[in-house]
Amino acid sequence: MTRTDQQLADFQAVLFDMDGTLVDSTVAVESIWSAWAERNSIPTADVLAWCHGRNVAATITHFLPHIAPETLQSMVSAQLDQECTQLASVKPAAGGLELLIWLDAHHIPWGRRHQRAAATRARPTRR
C-alpha cells in the first residue's frame, strides 16, 4: 500500500459545494434572478448582490418579506424549475472534471447518493 493509499483509506466520501467548485452557473443564475427582479419591480443589482450562495426561499423572502406562504412556494418552484432547465450557460468549473476522475480512480464516492445540497436533487444532477 502506498502512502497515498494509506492516507485515502480514511475517506468515506467527498462533499462539494457544487457551484464554483464543479460547475459555474453564474450566467444562468444571474439571468434567472434578473428576470425575477424585473417581474417583481425590484432593482436587479440589489437582487444579484444578495442571491449568490443563498437558497431561493431566503432570497425571495429577503425582498418580499410579507409574501404569502402559497405565493412563496409557487415562486420557489418556478425559480428552481428555471435553474433546472437553463443549462446552456452552465459550464464545468476549471479542474472539476479532472477532480472527479481522480476521485473515481481512487474509489472515493462523490456521486448523487452522497449529495448534501440546499438545492433540489434535480438541479445538481442536471448540472
19 included as an active-site residue: yes
Q: Among residues 5, 10, 17, 81, which one is catalytic?
A: 17
17 included as an active-site residue: yes
Q: Among residues 19, 24, 46, 81, which one is catalytic?
A: 19
CA distances to 6, 7, 45, 108, 126 from 1, rounded to whole Å, are 7, 10, 54, 16, 37
Which are the contacts of 110, defined by CB distance < 8 A and separation ≥ 6?
A: 13, 14, 16, 100, 103, 104
Catalytic residues: 17, 19
